[in-house]
Structure 1
Amino acid sequence: MRILYGIQGTGNGHITRARVMAKALAAQNVDVDYVFSGRPRDQYFDMERFGQYRTFDGLTFSHDHGKINYLKTASNAKLFGLIKDIHQLDVSCYDLVLNDFEPVSAWAAKKAGIAVINISHQAVFNYEQVPAKGMNWINKQILKYFAPADISLGVHWFHFGQAIIPPFIERETPTSALSEDILVYMPFEELDEISDLLNGQHDHNFVVYHPSIEKDVDTRAIKYRKPCRQGFLRDLESCAGVIANAGFELSSEALCVGKKLLLKPLDGQFEQASNAETLSLLGLANVMTGLDDAVLETWLQQESKDAINYPSDPTPLIDWLLAGDYKNPEKLCQSLWQPILMPQFVR
């Protein structure tokens, strides 16, 4: 089987999930080509696992000061370029297109009559049982038409009794060395505003990763780190807690290593609002609507959470894909959730 795998590149979470899948696909010698869209090619990093991958502009949201800027989003949208890329991407040589909310490969496959299987966090919002805070008609249309698929498998922290699979978390750098540092990754906030928030907490040390940091710098209370996958994972393993926007994959990684979570969802983005709502309802995270000193100070006093043993190996999912029987994913989902132990208060 030859597969084209299209991955949304606007956030690192989609790419993190694709890295885990790429490793399992390579282990089974599956012939896979990778396509990314949503950011300039020179802004991707640690992409060795994807070989000779291709990139397209795609579509992405623009943001300012932790809030979606819809006017800038519309003005920056390269719709004619998107249509051109869809028509020029030849998918005729592929048996299947895997898709993680990536529009170019999804629409190119739809145009060519190639089957598309969507494996993404966005797919969970097709189920009414899953919290969808702020969902409106426009959001529903985006979910339906942004990256259309024939079959969808949602990825979420809890199954809600639906055909949803758990996140696959690869612990690349496990370590026993722990610190009291707090890891901070809020790429949708302004760096100076993050610094102002953290500098008010003199009894704690923070490690801040941000896309605008170009070189590592240490100050008295804050270590500033440029994007680096391996360094980030080491700090995640050793830290005492995580402060982040409400993206899916980092929250998943934090839960898997038992770190307490403080989330500030991107304002105007229903997916992040829904993520924060879900984790708050499950008792797995605290939420702040702005960069709030009082909420941060209270959260810093809390204890760490119990780790959740989300799986690291997606081989059962790969086997299901290669078998070609896509109509009944329920058995696959049940087998993936069976060994997962949720904290008692979540059960």
Structure 2
Amino acid sequence: MKILYGVQATGNGHIARSRTLARALQKHPELEIQWLFSGRPKEKLFDMELFGDFWWREGMTIVHREGRLRSLATVAQVKARHLIRDIRELPLKDFDLVVSDYEPVTAWAAKLQKKPSVGIGHQYAFLYSIPMPRLNWLSHTILRAFAPTEKSLGLHWHHFDRPILPPIVPSNLQPSSDFGNHILVYLPFEHPAPMLEELSKVDQQFLVYGVPENLPTTKNIQIKAPSTTGFQQDLANAKAVICNSGFELLAEALALGKPILSRPLAAQFEQEANAKALEQLRLAAVVPHIDARNIENWLENLPPPLRIQWPNVAETIASWIAGGCKQSPAKLADSLWRKVIPNPNNGRAAAYQRVSE
């Protein structure tokens, strides 16, 4: 089976999830995968060796400034003619299936050329009734029209009694036996200079990813260069995590049992919905601003660690694709959620378990 797999590369989470799926798909030699990435300049992609000779298209991305999504600017920057041309001219004739991780060029090309298509990703969970802010017309339109597919496998930290699968995390993701003293910070949507200034006021060591490396820092802050391996090591060794409310990093932090302080990107539907879910499930502390006072209050009241052991969702999906995508998402979800293991040693886990049952 020949598959075109499109990945929305605006955020690192989509790519991280696709790396895990790529390794699982490689165990099925009958599958021939051609990868396509869009939403980020090609020269800003890194650690892409796993995807071989991948295709790249400009696609669509979001515009954000100082921690807030700019909807009008996002719409204004879309090169509509270029996007439509890429969709219409995408060569799908030799492919048996198109898979989209919320990537619009491949999804829309499959729709127009009537090719079988499957959506895999967190955004597809929002096709169901789950915790989310009130949809305005623009968010609703973008959510459903951005990357439509015939079938979809939505991913979330909880099923909410819907046919939604658990997150995809690397199979080798294991908590360190010897935590470091640092807090990992990944806040790529914040204005970096004020954010670093607030961190400098806290008596704590911070490892910061996602900001320019040439910014001035104080002795308690170290800015790290983009690195898949380095980031995973620093995450595993961290005593806690401060991040925006993107899905994939939070899933990995939960798999490692890290305390989390999260600040959703303002006016970004997905992150605001994620923040509601985090609060409802008691999985993280959510704040409207990242400042020294909020960080110190969080550190003074850290809850007991809650580690959620997700099953190997990537291998299940890879086998599902290799088998022709025949089993229903509901049956896939049911089989996978039975394998999720919340840590039973604290009250938060008990609360999460009750919601999961």
**What TM-score results when the alignment is normalised by the length of structure 1?**
0.95
What secondary structure does 2:309 align onto?
coil
- 1:64-121 CA deviation, whole Å, 9 max, x = no partner? 1001123322332111110111112101111111111100001111111101101110
What secondary structure does 2:232 align onto?
helix
What secondary structure does 1:6 align onto?
strand
C-alpha displacement at 1:214, in angstroms? 5.7
C-alpha displacement at 1:325, in angstroms? 4.5
What secondary structure does 2:341 align onto?
coil
Matches within 5 A, 1:1-347: 1-29=1-29, 30-128=31-129, 130-170=130-170, 172=172, 174=174, 175-201=176-202, 203-213=203-213, 219-301=218-300, 302-312=302-312, 314-326=314-326, 328-342=328-342, 343-347=349-353
CA RMSD of aligned residues (A): 1.7
Separation in 2, partners of 1:96, 1:32: 10
- Name whichever of 259-268 and 320-329 sits farther off: 320-329
Separation in 2, partners of 1:136, 1:72: 17
Percent of counterpart pairs with the same letter?
39
- 1:127-181 CA deviation, whole Å, 9 max, x = no partner? 11x1011422221211221111001111000011111111121154744331121
Code of the residue aligned with 1:345 in structure 2: it is: A
Separation in 2, partners of 1:299, 1:99: 37
Residues 28 and 322 of structure 2 are in contact (CA less than 8 Å); yes or no, is this contact kept in structure 1?
A: no
Residues 24 and 313 of structure 1 are in contact (CA less than 8 Å); yes or no, is this contact kept in structure 2?
A: no
Residues 185 and 209 of structure 2 are in contact (CA less than 8 Å); yes or no, is this contact kept in structure 1?
A: yes
Code of the residue aligned with 1:88 in structure 2: it is: E
Code of the residue aligned with 1:196 in structure 2: it is: E
C-alpha displacement at 1:292, in angstroms? 3.2
Report the count of equivalent residues: 344
What secondary structure does 1:164 align onto?
coil
Residues 166 and 313 of structure 2 are in contact (CA less than 8 Å); yes or no, is this contact kept in structure 1?
A: no
Separation in 2, partners of 1:262, 1:219: 21
Residues 207 and 221 of structure 2 are in contact (CA less than 8 Å); yes or no, is this contact kept in structure 1?
A: yes
Name the CA shift for 1:303/1:144 in 2 (closer, same or farther; >3 Å). closer
Code of the residue aligned with 2:232 in structure 1: it is: L
Separation in 1, partners of 2:200, 2:296: 12
**Structure 2: gaps (5+ residues):** 343-348
Separation in 2, partners of 1:218, 1:120: 36
What secondary structure does 1:118 align onto?
strand
Separation in 1, partners of 2:248, 2:121: 11
Separation in 2, partners of 1:3, 1:76: 30
**Structure 1: gaps (5+ residues):** none
Separation in 1, partners of 2:139, 2:234: 35
Separation in 1, partners of 2:307, 2:88: 45
What secondary structure does 1:346 align onto?
helix
Name the CA shift for 1:312/1:180 in 2 (closer, same or farther; >3 Å). farther
Separation in 1, partners of 2:197, 2:209: 15
Separation in 2, partners of 1:196, 1:328: 50
- Name whichever of 1-10 and 334-343 sits farther off: 334-343
Name the CA shift for 1:77/1:38 in 2 (closer, same or farther; >3 Å). same
Residues 3 and 94 of structure 1 are in contact (CA less than 8 Å); yes or no, is this contact kept in structure 2?
A: yes
Residues 195 and 291 of structure 2 are in contact (CA less than 8 Å); yes or no, is this contact kept in structure 1?
A: no
Code of the residue aligned with 2:83 in structure 1: it is: L
Separation in 2, partners of 1:330, 1:210: 36
- Name whichever of 138-147 and 6-15 sits farther off: 138-147
Separation in 1, partners of 2:297, 2:222: 22
C-alpha displacement at 1:332, in angstroms? 1.4
Name the CA shift for 1:190/1:304 in 2 (closer, same or farther; >3 Å). farther
Name the CA shift for 1:284/1:9 in 2 (closer, same or farther; >3 Å). same
* Paired position in structure 1 for 2:345: none
- 1:183-222 CA deviation, whole Å, 9 max, x = no partner? 0000001211211110110x2110000142269x874100
